[in-house]
Amino acid sequence: MASKKEIIINCGTSSISVSTFSFNGNQCVLDEVSLHTQNFDYLDESLWLEETIKTLEEVTQELKLRGEVRVIIPGSLLLTKTIRVPKVEKDKQDKIVAFELSQKMPFPLSELIWDYRIIDDDGVEQEILAFAVKPEIAEKFCERLIQAGLSPSIITPAPILEHESFKALETMDEDGETLIINIGAKSTNLLFINKEGFLIRNIAIGGNSLTQSISENLGLVFEKGEEIKKAVYSGAVNLTADDPRHEVLGSCSSKFLARISQEITRSIVTYKRIKKGKSISKIYLSGRGALLAGLPEYISQSQQLNIDYFDPLQAIQVSSSVSEEMKTLLPFMLSESVGLAIKLFQPTSDNLSKPINLLPSSKISTLNFKKKSILLTISSLIFSICPLPFIIANLNEISVIETKIDDFNTDLKRTQAKKEEVMNMLTKHNYLLSLNDEIISSLAPLLKKHENRNKLLDVLNFLQSTLDKSELKDVWFDQFSINTNTRKTNLKSRDKNIIPTQTLFLSGRYLVRPSIEINNSLERMDLRETLIELNSAKQDYLTSHLQSLPYLKDIPTKVFSIEDKGNLFEKYYTHFEYEIVLQF
């Protein structure tokens, strides 16, 4: 008999994992896994749902997924509340929890899909962890999954599942307090675990915070900042010490480490107050954000505790079909998926382990009906065959059947006529699409010129801002011109592309002002040396500043004249000329 398989889809803020698990009788097995990174502006929360659904539709076609799936959604989409209620009978518990939550939630419970779980029970009171999601999010998500051929049987929040992975490892010290820090794209989840239960705290700092800092300091859009962050911190790109981005990324990384460490410390202090002085004895890191260089050492030093990476794969068996390269990344991506798989294959009667399901009730009814549809179809077929002998025995029924056939043929002709009408409309539609494409193509050169005009304005604005900088005071431009030319390059074998470039010719002068005291006190030769030194400093700063010019490709020529066109030693000014290559 084939072992039961579970397909688990973990929809994170910036990536999606699709994992297939099975159970070999005594251990959960990861059979297959696929990771997919999403590319959009993570700061715009409204884009997440549509981009995630689009990615899932592509993944479904690529992997040929069908049937029942379990879905994990990120905590950033959810409302989360922790409350304490008196311990009562099960039939009364739901009413008490609903009443207490209605006082805490920012929206009426009737306008939310919600569920809860008991995370601590001292016999007198119970600590309740509740999650809620807006119906329009869950329902749209389910409808699109069903359209793609998937049947979501559960939608469960990610923050609570890492606890299941940790329990399966059985490494908990009976008297110890453990903290798992899961650093995601949008936020960081802190999971405090002890022998009585666990506590979850979420802080709004994640990998996106570092990306945003890099983007702002380098003057880039968010998506480009994300590319640079991944390339540099993963080691795929090594920046030299004289690269201007090296210092910027180092500064951004230091600020991010200090900020997240401060928030972790504040959360630990709050936890100690709640637990009456109990201290954390062990810290684990998980999530892709934990791969940031220097993070474990920084947190270890600030908390004076040993830091390890949390590896949920130790609780399961990984199939040989999973590549070794993929295995190195999985511990930072699959802690929630592993936790859910363990929960599905090794269920317990423990009330503290009740699964949370945010699937809309209407979808649960629809899916239950689909499961029974095969049985209903067979039953209907059997019942439809029962009266057949009586129909055959009655010759009068033959004429009824013939009449129905005639009616069917008439309907068929009407349908064919409608089909021809639709095909004619489709032909017109295709013609309009073709015409639209031709119009867009004809407008392309105009749009390109408009785009280049805006880029040229960026260049002009930058040069204008140059004159406002205190370090470049007494600088003015005499001549400014741009020539457009093209050059050929082979981007691919036998594929020649013409890339337009613009050459900016810029000339002007700047004053070199020695202080009045230096001017009066120095001898002629000493003053000359001072002027040369001041001129070199201003020359270097001007060139360094122009290196930041938008759309800069290269500065092949730069000429500075302190004599002839310039007059440094008598009138204290230098003439400069730059040939700058721009690429729009």
Q: What is the pLDDT of residues 431-441, one digit of tens each?
A: 999 899 889 88
Q: What is the pLDDT of residues 409-420, one digit of tens each?
A: 888 888 988 998
- According to the per-residue pLDDT averaged within each range, which of 26-40, 242-256, 421-435 is highest? 421-435
Three-state SS annotation for 492-539:
ECCEEEEEEEEEEEEEEEEECCCCHHHHHHCCHHHHHHHHHHHHHHHH
Residues facing 179 on adjacent strands: 192, 283
Residues 272 and 149 in one domain: yes
Residues 143 and 253 in one domain: yes
Q: What mean pLDDT do residues 294-303 have?
A: 87
Residues 352 and 249 in one domain: yes
Instruction: Determine the pLDDT at residue 354.
Output: 65
Residues 278 and 144 in one domain: yes
Q: What mean pLDDT do residues 185-197 have?
A: 84
Range of the structural domain that residue 538 is part of: 468-582
CA distance 510 to 466: 12
Q: Is residue 381, in this structure, part of any structural domain at all?
A: no
Select from 466, 496, 522 the last residue of a domain: 466
Is residue 520 classed exposed, middle or buried when 0-12, 13-18 and 19+ CB atoms within 10 A define those classes?
exposed
Instruction: Write b or e for each residue in 435-451: b if 16 or more Cβ atoms lie within 10 A of its Cβ, otherwise e.
Output: eeeeeeeeeeeeeeeee
Residues 462 and 473 in one domain: no
H-run or E-run covering 50: helix 48-63
Q: Is residue 388, in this structure, part of any structural domain at all?
A: no
Residues 200 and 337 in one domain: yes
CA distance 191 to 162: 8
Q: Is residue 561, in this structure, part of any structural domain at all?
A: yes
Task: Extract the tokens encoding 144.
Answer: 């699109």
Residues 460 and 578 in one domain: no
Instruction: Determine the pLDDT at residue 108.
Output: 87
What does R_g of the chain's alpha carbons equal in angstroms? 34
**Is the pLDDT higher at 499 or at 428?**
428
- Strands of 573-582's sheet, edge to edge? 475-492, 495-511, 573-582, 552-561
Domain of 506, CATH number, reads 3.30.70
Q: State the helix-helix crossing angle for 135-147 and 361-385, rounded to 10 degrees.
A: 40
Instruction: Determine the pLDDT at residue 507.
Output: 94
Instruction: Determine the pLDDT at residue 383.
Output: 54
Task: Extract the tokens encoding 390.
Answer: 């009586």
How many other CB atoms are there within 10 angstroms of residue 73's CB atom?
26
Query: Does the structure show a pLDDT above 80 at 493?
Result: no
Q: What mean pLDDT do residues 317-337 have?
A: 86
Q: What mean pLDDT do residues 38-45 have?
A: 74
Task: Extract the tokens encoding 462.
Answer: 């930058």
Residues 414 and 485 in one domain: no
pLDDT band per the 50, 70, 90 thresholds, residue 519: low
Lowest mean pLDDT among 252-266, 340-354, 367-381: 367-381
Tokens 């802080």 -> residue = 203
Lowest mean pLDDT among 172-181, 244-253, 327-336: 172-181
Query: Does the structure show a pLDDT above 70 at 365?
Result: no
Instruction: Decide the pairing of beta strands 552-561 and 79-86.
Output: unpaired
**Is the pLDDT higher at 536 or at 370?**
536
Instruction: Determine the pLDDT at residue 352.
Output: 52
Count of structural domains within the chain? 3
The one-character DSSP state at 1 is: -
CA distance 462 to 548: 9
Q: Is residue 382, in this structure, part of any structural domain at all?
A: no
CA distance 60 to 289: 27
Residues 422 and 519 in one domain: no
Q: Is residue 377, in this structure, part of any structural domain at all?
A: no
User: What 3-state class would DSSP assign to 205?
Assistant: coil
Lowest mean pLDDT among 308-317, 381-390, 570-579: 381-390
CA distance 132 to 75: 10
Contact call for residues 317 and 30 (beta carbons, < 8 A): yes
Residues 286 and 252 in one domain: yes
pLDDT band per the 50, 70, 90 thresholds, residue 489: very low
Instruction: Determine the pLDDT at residue 508.
Output: 94
pLDDT band per the 50, 70, 90 thresholds, residue 556: very high
pLDDT band per the 50, 70, 90 thresholds, residue 195: confident
Q: Is residue 379, in this structure, part of any structural domain at all?
A: no
Query: Does the structure show a pLDDT above 80 at 234?
Result: no
pLDDT band per the 50, 70, 90 thresholds, residue 503: very high
Q: What mean pLDDT do residues 499-519 have?
A: 82
> Cα–Cα distances in Å, from 94 out to 99, 211, 332, 407?
9, 42, 36, 57
Q: State the helix-helix crossing angle for 135-147 and 48-63, rounded to 10 degrees.
A: 20
Q: What is the pLDDT of residues 116-160, one digit of tens each?
A: 888 877 778 888 889 898 888 888 888 888 888 888 888 998 888
Percent of the chain past pLDDT 70, that is, above it, reads 87
Instruction: Determine the pLDDT at residue 557.
Output: 93
Q: Is residue 30, in this structure, part of any structural domain at all?
A: yes
Instruction: Determine the pLDDT at residue 170.
Output: 67
Residues 12 and 94 in one domain: yes
Query: What is this structure's pTM?
Result: 0.60
Q: What mean pLDDT do residues 191-206 have?
A: 84
Q: Is residue 498, in this structure, part of any structural domain at all?
A: yes
Q: What mean pLDDT do residues 225-246 have?
A: 81
Domain of 229, CATH number, reads 3.30.420.40
Backbone angles phi, psi at 277, to 5 degrees: 95, 0
Select from 466, 485, 515 the last residue of a domain: 466
Query: Does the structure show a pLDDT above 70 at 465?
Result: yes
Contact call for residues 178 and 308 (beta carbons, < 8 A): no
CA distance 168 to 346: 10
| Count, residues in the chain | 584
Q: What is the pLDDT of residues 18-31, one digit of tens each?
A: 999 988 877 889 98
Residues 438 and 479 in one domain: no
**Is the pLDDT higher at 140 or at 174?**
140
User: What 3-state class would DSSP assign to 398?
Assistant: helix
Instruction: Determine the pLDDT at residue 1.
Output: 43
The mean pLDDT of the chain is: 82
> Cα–Cα distances in Å, from 180 out to 45, 355, 421?
26, 20, 63
Instruction: Determine the pLDDT at residue 580.
Output: 93
Task: Extract the tokens encoding 176.
Answer: 């110890």
Select from 407, 433, 466 the last residue of a domain: 466
Query: Does the structure show a pLDDT above 90 at 488?
Result: no
